[in-house]
Structure 1
Amino acid sequence: MTKEEIQKRIDELKSDYIRIQGDMEKLESLGKNGNVSYSEKLLEEIELELKQLRELLYS
């Protein structure tokens, strides 16, 4: 991957992360906390991929 491709993927993941966080907040406000665990898993996966991509970008 080129640095530009890595940065593009990082930007996509950040956008997804923000969207998922918003969705989680909506679910929590509706009292549907049981549905939040899947979103939490997605956020963890995104965080891991972001970490890996940042390591690639800055190495």
Structure 2
Amino acid sequence: MTKKQIEAEMAELKSDYARIQGDVEKATSFGVNTSTGENKMIEIEERLKELNQKLEEIE
């Protein structure tokens, strides 16, 4: 992956994370199960860690 590709994927993941976080907060206020959203947020966090490591290796 190139630096640009990594940065683009990171930006997309951060956007997804913010959206999911908002959904989880709304669901929590209504007492709805949020485990699926929370699990997805954990997956995104892990992927962002991987991409940060790749970015450090490139630079």
Do both share a fold (TM > 0.5)?
Answer: yes
| Runs of 5+ consecutive residues of structure 2 not aligned to the other structure | none
Q: Which residue of 2 aligns with 1:52?
A: 50
Give me the TM-score of the superposition, normalised by structure 2: 0.93
Aligned residues: 57
Answer 1 or 2: higher relative contact order, Cα 8 Å, separation at least 6. 1
Root mean square deviation of aligned Cα: 0.5
Written as runs of structure 1 = structure 2, the 5 A alignment for 1:1-59 is 1-32=1-32, 34=33, 36-59=34-57
Deviations 1:13-57 (A, max 9, x none): 00000000000000011111x2x0000110010000000000000
User: Matches of 1:4 and 1:52 in 2, distance apart?
Assistant: 15
| Runs of 5+ consecutive residues of structure 1 not aligned to the other structure | none
Give me the TM-score of the superposition, normalised by structure 1: 0.93
> Which segments of structure 1 move beyond 6 Å, counting only runs of 4 or more?
none
Give the share of equivalent positions with the same residue, in percent: 49
User: Matches of 1:27 and 1:3 in 2, distance apart?
Assistant: 36
